[in-house]
């Protein structure tokens, strides 16, 4: 039986959000559970969600609460700390810090949807293999 992977997306930029949603919709066995625009909103939704996602894709640069602050807060919450998170960013500058804060993957954003799809698929594959 093939497992359906549920995804929670945290992205403030409307164009990037559109790209990520479009790409996720092309990946087999992936269901987009929810989309929010900052880390604070993500924490609030995740803490009360009746169903938790299998993976969280989170942008680095966002208003209110950025991706690194989200990772730090997530790691302290017993209800959601087990959910793997993949950091999304247009630069590599905080890659190391993201992993130190518990990110299980890092994707550099691309304007090429094919490249983005491949990177997201690889991240999802590596997470599913590591959770077996």
Would you kindly state where each structural domain of the chain is located, as residue ranges? 5-130
pLDDT of residue 128: 65
Instruction: Evaluate the CA torsion angle 14, 20, 25, 30 in order and state its sign.
Output: negative
| Tens of pLDDT, residues 93-121 | 889 999 999 999 999 998 899 999 999 99
| Tens of pLDDT, residues 41-54 | 999 999 999 999 99
Tell me the C-alpha distance between 58 and 53, whole Å: 13
57 burial class (0-12, 13-18, 19+ CB within 10 angstroms)? buried
pTM score, whole prediction: 0.91
CATH of domain 5-130: 3.40.50.2300
How far is the CA of 1 from the CAs of 4, 29, 125, in angstroms?
Answer: 10, 11, 16
């Amino acid at each position: 039986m093939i497992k359906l992977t549920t995804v929670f997306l945290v992205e403030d930029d409307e164009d990037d959000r559109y790209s990520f949603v479009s790409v996720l919709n092309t990946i087999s066995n992936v269901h987009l559970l929810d989309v929010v625009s900052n880390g604070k909103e993500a924490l609030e939704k995740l803490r009360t969600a009746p169903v938790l996602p299998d993976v969280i894709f989170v942008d680095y640069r966002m208003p209110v609460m950025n991706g690194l602050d989200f990772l730090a807060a997530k790691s302290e919450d017993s209800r959601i700390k087990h959910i793997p998170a993949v950091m999304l960013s247009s630069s590599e500058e905080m890659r190391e810090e993201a992993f130190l804060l518990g990110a299980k993957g890092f994707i550099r954003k691309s304007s090429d949807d094919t490249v983005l799809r491949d990177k997201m698929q690889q991240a999802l594959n590596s997470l599913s293999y590591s959770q077996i």
